[in-house]
Chain A
Amino acid sequence: MLLIALFIAVILSNVQESLAETEQGHGAVNVHVLYRGTVPPPTEVKVTRDPETCGTTIYRQSITVRSPSGELKDAMVMVEDIHASGKEQTRTQSMVLSNSKCSFSPHVMPLQTGSTLEIQNLDQVMHNTHITHELRTFINVAMVVNGRPVAKRVANPGLYRVQCDVHKFMEGYVLASEHPYFGVTDERGSAKITDVPAGEHDISVWHERLGQLQAHITVPPNGEATATFEFHEDGTGHSRRMNR
C-alpha cells in the first residue's frame, strides 16, 4: 500500500516537474566581453627549433582585442550553476585540435564532457601534444610528420592545458563542461549560448591571462539575457546585465 502511494507520488512529482519545465521554457544568453586598458605588446620569442616551419621569431599575443572598442577574443563563457539533467540536447562531438604552423588551433576550445578530442599535426615537423588536467596527464602523444590523428574521450570536467615539449612557445586550453551551456568569444568579443533553461543563473567568463569574472543573470523564457563583462588592465573587472 505504502509502496503504491509512493509510486503515485513519484509519478505526480515527475508530471509536475515536466510541467514546470515546459512552462519555464528556454532562452538565450548573449555575452559580450571587453578589455579596457592598453594591450601589452606581444612577447617576442626566438625560435630555436624548426625555423622552416615555425619561423625565426614568434610574437605571442596573449590578449587579442579589436580596437578601438576593446572587444576581447578567446574568452570562454560558461553557465556555472546548472547540472546536466540528461534531458537536454547534448553537444558531445568530435573536436579537432590541430598542430598548425607551430601553434595550437583553435587556441582555446570549450567542449562538453563525453566529446572526443582529435589531435592532428598539419606541420612537417614533429610535435608532442601534451595535455594536462590539474596535476594529471590527460595525454602526451608524439605527433610525427604525416601521422594519423590521435583521439581521446574527455571524461572529466575542468580546465586542460595544452603544451608541446619540443616547442615551448606553443600553448592552448580546453575547457570541458558537464553541460552544453558554454561558448567562446569571437573577434567581436561575443558569444551566444542558446537553449538555456529560463531562470536565474551565474555565468562566468575565463581568459587565460585576465582571469575570471562572474555575473548573475535572469534568462527570460523565449527571450534573451545579455551580459557584458569588462576586464581591466589593473586586474579588476565588472559586469553589466540586461534581460529582454
Chain B
Amino acid sequence: MRCQNLVCGLVLLLALGTSTVVQATKPEDTAATRAQGQVLFERTCLFCHGATGQGDGPAGWFLGRYASPRPRNFTAGSFKFRSTPSGDLPTDQDLFRTITKGIPGYMPSFASLSEAARWQIVAYVKSFYPGFRTETPVPLPLVGAPTPQLAESLDRGRALYTSFECHTCHGTEGRGDGPVTQAGELKDASGLQIQAADLTRPSSFKNGASLPDLVRTLLTGLDGTPMPSYAARLSDRETDAWDLAQYLRALSAESVP
C-alpha cells in the first residue's frame, strides 16, 4: 500500500481509537451478565430512563417533558448515536461509547464505572428491545481518510453544505436557525419540538466533534430526529464526507480535541 505518512498515521489512529475503548473486558451476553447489568442500571440509569427503560424515570418525567429530548425509551428500538445505517440498531460498541462518553448537556459520562460494568449495562439495555436478539447491526464503513484542512477542502465542504441544503435546518451560518427550524416545524419521534444543532458550538455535539465523529453523524443521521442520513450522497467521492466535516469544524473558532 502506498500512501502519504500523515494520512496513514491518521487512519491507524482511528483504528486504535475505536479498538482501545472496546473489547478488552467485554463479557459474554448471558443471563448472569444482564442480571449484573440490571443492578447497575437500577442504581445509575433508572432515575432518568425508568425501571422499564421507557425513559420515564422520576427525573426523566420532568426532563424533556415539554422539550426534546426525553431520556431514551429503550423499548422503541430507535437510537441516535450509531455507526450503522439509518433505521438499524446500534452496535454494542456504539452503546458502550454513548455510556462511556455521556451526552453533552443531557446525560453524564459513566467512564467512572469499570469497563466490565459498562458492558454489563450494555447487555441489560439491549434486553429492553427484542430486535437486538434477531438483528445483527453492521457498521457503515468510514470511507477515505481525513483531508488536511486545506483551502480547497473547505471550499468543497462549503459547496456540499449548500448543495445538500443543510442550511434549510441549520441556517446559512450553521447557527441552528434555518427556516424550517425557525418555523418550529421540526419534531422528534415523540412529537416534541426539536432544534437543529448549532454547528458553531461543537462542544455541544452529542455524537462527538472529532472529524471521524462528524463523518459518522453525516453518514448515519440521528434516528428519531429530522437529521437525515447522507450515506448515499457521500459515497460518490471518498473525500466528500471529510471535506464536509472539515467545513463544519471551520464554522466555529472553538477548538475541539
A contact set with B: CB distance below 8 Å:
48-49, 125-126, 128, 130-132, 134-142, 144-145, 147-148, 150, 152, 165-166, 168
Contact = CB atoms under 8 A, between A and B. Distances in A.
Interface of B: 73, 75-78, 85-87, 163-165, 168-169, 179-180, 183, 185-187, 189, 221, 223-233
Given A128-B226, A137-B224, A140-B226, A165 B189 contact: no
Instruction: Label chain B's interface by main secondary structure.
Output: loop
Which residue, A49, A131, A165, A168, has most C-beta atoms of chain B within 10 A? Answer: A165
A139 B189 CA distance: 12
Which residue, B73, B163, B233, has most C-beta atoms of chain A within 10 A? Answer: B233
A137 B86 contact: yes
Contact of B221 (A48, A131, A141, A147): A141
Contacts of A147: 232-233
Given A142-B229, A150-B232, A152-B85, 18 more contacts: A130-B228, A135-B76, A136-B87, A137-B78, A137-B189, A138-B87, A139-B229, A140-B225, A140-B226, A140-B227, A141-B221, A141-B230, A141-B232, A142-B228, A144-B164, A147-B232, A147-B233, A148-B232
A132 B189 contact: yes
Contacts of B77: 135-136
A199 B155 CA distance: 67
A136 B78 contact: yes
Contact of B230 (A125, A132, A138, A142): A142
Nearest to A119: B232
A145 B162 CA distance: 12
Given A147-B233, A166-B168, A141 B86 contact: yes
B233 A144 contact: yes
Nearest to B235: A148
Contact of B185 (A134, A135, A168): A168
B187 to A, nearest CB: 8
Contacts of A125: 165
Given A136-B87, A137-B78, A165-B186, A49 B180 contact: yes
Contacts of A165: 169, 180, 185-187, 226, 228
A135 B86 contact: no
A137 B81 CA distance: 13
Nearest to A145: B163
B53 to A, nearest CB: 13
Contacts of A135: 73, 75-78, 189
Nearest to A132: B189
Contacts of B86: 137, 139-141
Given A48-B179, A142-B164, A137 B233 contact: no
25 contacts: A48-B179, A126-B164, A126-B168, A128-B226, A131-B87, A135-B73, A136-B223, A137-B189, A138-B87, A140-B86, A140-B221, A140-B223, A140-B229, A141-B86, A141-B228, A142-B164, A142-B165, A142-B230, A144-B165, A147-B232, A147-B233, A152-B85, A152-B87, A165-B186, A165-B187
B87 A137 contact: yes
A197 B86 CA distance: 38
Contacts of A128: 226, 228
Contacts of B228: 128, 130, 140-142, 165
A160 to B, nearest CB: 11
Nearest to A128: B228
A190 B213 CA distance: 51
A239 B93 CA distance: 53
A117 B82 CA distance: 22
A150 to B, nearest CB: 5
Nearest to B227: A140
Contacts of A137: 78, 86-87, 189, 223-224
Contacts of A148: 232
Contacts of B78: 135-137
Contact of B165 (A126, A132, A140, A141): A126
Contacts of A141: 86, 221, 228-232
A165 B165 CA distance: 13
B188 to A, nearest CB: 10
B180 A166 contact: yes
